Structure 1
Amino acid sequence: MSVEFNSSLGQLDVDYLNPKAADENLKMRPYGDEPSGCGRMCRRRPFKTAAVFLGLLCLLLLAGIISLQVHYTKVGDVHDSEMRDIQTKYNNLTDKQNKLQNNYSNLKQDRNLLETKYINLTRERHQLQISYDTLTKLRDDSQTSLTSLRKQRDDLRNEKIQLAAEKEELQRRFELVTSSRDGIQEELNSLSLNMTEKPCQQGWTKFNGSCYYISTSSKTWIKSKKDCEDRGANLVIIDNRKEIDFITRFNDRTWIGLSDTVREGKWTWVDGTDLQVGAGFWQRGEPNDADDGEDCVELSRSGKGWNDVPCSNKFSWVCEE
C-alpha cells in the first residue's frame, strides 16, 4: 500500500496496491514535516481517512463473507439435493441390481434345469433311436420273411394249380379207364349171360341179362301190372340209370312197378321190396302227391325221371322177367 499527501487538495493519496511504497513515503518524511497551511488538522486527517477505509474494507469483507456464506449454503443445499438424488438413484440401481441378480439366479437355475432336461431328453432320444433301429431291423427282417413267405405261398399256389390240373387229367383218364372197364365188363357179362341163360321169349328184348316186354298199347297201372303177371313177369323194377335209358328208347311215358297204394308215402316195388327214403330217380319236385291221388309211378322220357301220377291214367308199360 502506498500513501501520498496531495498538497493541492490537502488529502492523502493511499496506494492500496503498494503498501510498501506508502510505508517508505511515511518514513521519508521527518516528523513534523507537514505541508504548509495544514496545521493540526492535517495531522489528524490521515488517521480518519485510514479508519474510514478500514471500516469500508471490513464492510466489504463482511459482505464478501456473507455472500460466500450464502453461496456455499446454496451450493450445500444443491449438493445435498444432488446427493439425495444420487443416493436415491443408487438405491434404485441397487434394487435393480438385486432384482437382476435374482433374475440371473433364477435364469441360472432354469438353465440348469433345462440342461438336466436336455441331458435326459438326449438319453431318451438315444434310447428311442436304439429302439427305432431295433424295430427297423425287425421290420426289415419281417419284410424279408414276409416276402419269402409270399414267394412260398405263390409257389404253393402254382404247385396246387398244377396238381389240380394233373388231378383233373388223372380223374379224366380214370373215368375213361373206368368207363372202358365197365363197358368191357358189361359186354363180358352179356356174353356170359347169353351163353349160360336161356333165351328170351318171342317178342321180348334182352338187355343186361334180363328180358323185357315192351307194350305197344296203353292201360291203367293195375291192368298193366295184371298183364305182366299173366305173362309170368312183373312191371319193370329199375335199379340203375342205364335201365332208364334203355326203357325210354321205346315210349315217352311208361308205367314201372312202383307205388304207395298200400301205405301213403311208403313206396314199394311190385316184388314187395321198399324203396329207401331219398333213393330213386325222381324228377325235380317229385313225388308230390298232387290232389292226394297220385299213388303210382311212371317213367317219362322228356322228364328223364320218375313221376307220381293217378293210377287211373293210361300209359304204355314194360314187363321184366
Structure 2
Amino acid sequence: MSQDVYANVNRAAKRGERVEVEVEIYESADSLTAQNVIRKQEDTNTNKTTQSGDTAGSRSCRLAAVFLGMLCVLLLTAIILLWFKFDNLNTEIDQLQTSYTNLAAERDQLQTSYTNLTAERDQLQTSKSNLTAERDQLRKERDVLLEYIPELSQKTQQVWRYFRSSIYYISTEERSWYYSKTDCGVRGADLLIINSREEQEFINKELGSTEAWIGLTDAVTEGVWKWVDGSTLTTEFWAQNEPNNHEGNEDCAITNFSRAKFNNASTWADYPCGHHVSWICEKRLTGL
C-alpha cells in the first residue's frame, strides 16, 4: 500500500472506525493496478515474442524457399545432364548397331568367299587328280607304243596314227570294202570301229576331205548294222538321209561322206561294198 493509505488507516484506527472495507478496496485497487501492470508487461513480452517468432518464421520460410529453389536448379541441371548423356548413349547404340550390321555383312562375304575358295580348291584337287591319272595313262600308253612301233617298218610308221588306246593305219590307195577288211587283218588290225564323237573327230581331222571305209555293214541283215567285231551299232554319225540303200545293194559304210562338198565334219553313208575308196585300220593296244 501507499503511505496515504497507511495514514488513513491509522487515523481511522484512532477514531475507532472500521477500515476493513477500505483496506480491502485499496488492496483490490492495488492488486488490480499491479495485475494490469503485469498484464501489460506480459502483453508487451508476448508481442515481442510474437514479433520475434514471426521474424524467425519468416527467415525460416525464406531459407526454405531458397533451399528449394537451389534444389530445383540442381535437379533441373541433373536432368539436363542425364538427358544429354541418354542422347549420347542412343547415338553410340546406333553406331554400334551400324558397326554390327557392317561386320555381319563382312562376315557373310568372308563366309561366301571361303565357300567359293573351298569349292575352287576341291575343283583344283579334282583337276590335279584327273591330270595325274591322264599323265599316268599317257606314260602307260607310251610304254606300250614303244613295244609296238619298233616292230613296224619305217614305211608303216609313217602312216600309223595314235589316238588314246589305239593306233590307226590310213591307206594311200583305194580298194573295195572286202579288200580293205582283209588288208587290215593282215596288219593285225580291223577296219575302223568308231565308239565316240572324239574318235570320229580325230578321224575326220586325219582324213581331211578323203572318204574311207569303216568296219560297219548290214550285209547279213538289211537295215541291221553291225561292226566287224560283231558288236551292235550304238553311236551313229550318219549323214542326212543316210543310210538309204540307194542302189539296192549299199551294204557297207564309209566315213567323211562328201565332206568336201557339204563341209560336214562327221558324216557316214552306205555304199556298195565293191566301190573303191581308201580305208582305215584300227589296232587296239593291249595293256591300256
Task: Give the TM-score normalised by the residue count of structure 2.
Answer: 0.45
Which structure has the larger Rg? 1
Higher relative contact order, structure no. (Cα contacts within 8 Å, ≥ 6 residues apart):
2
